[in-house]
Amino acid sequence: MRQHSLSLLMAVGAVLLGGLIVVLAFSSCSSKAPQQDQVSGEVVASPEPAPLSDPYELPSASPYEAPLPAIEPLQIAFHKGYHNVPDKEVPALGALAGLLKDYRFQAILIGNANDYNDIQRNRALSYQRARAVYDWLLREGVPAEILTIASGGTDGRFVGVQAR
């Protein structure tokens, strides 16, 4: 009975709406008439087809993308005349390293020094400080390609920029 009503529905759709037959024909393709087994002669029913998904349904597994975290400039306080990363700055640098590894932000490491009355000496110390932070971040697994080193001196001018 179901097969007959489907055929009638297809015929009515063809007569009344013309182009709708394609949609009805496609939707009826998945329902088969019961088949007769050639050996036993029994009628075997076809399994019901899986329901079609709703084309307007939103995917259920769409991941929510959280906004990127805001990163404030981090200032590292070095001891006068030294370029080694102070122990008290390690937690802040560790947090920065985690963000850089997770989100791959581009980071510019700007060294600065005004420890001496000699501009050349301050410029050298500025670079050494930026390089010390760079090396520390590399050891923590931050990719070199997202880090850039810049250094300045007492006058605040950048004297060296190295992109890795």
63-67, 126-130, 149-153: segment of lowest average pLDDT: 63-67
Length, in residues, of the chain: 164
Domains along the chain with CATH numbers: 2-44 (no CATH), 87-163 (3.30.1330.60)
What lies within 8 Å, CB to CB, of 103 at 6+ separation is 68, 69
Q: In this predicted model, what pLDDT tens digit does every residue of 87-102 receive, in sequence order? A: 999 999 999 999 999 9
The CA distance from 43 to 81, in Å, is: 94
- What pTM was estimated for this model as a whole? 0.56
Q: In this predicted model, what pLDDT tens digit does every residue of 106-127 receive, in sequence order? A: 888 988 888 888 888 988 999 9
Collapsing DSSP to helix, strand or coil, 145 comes out as helix
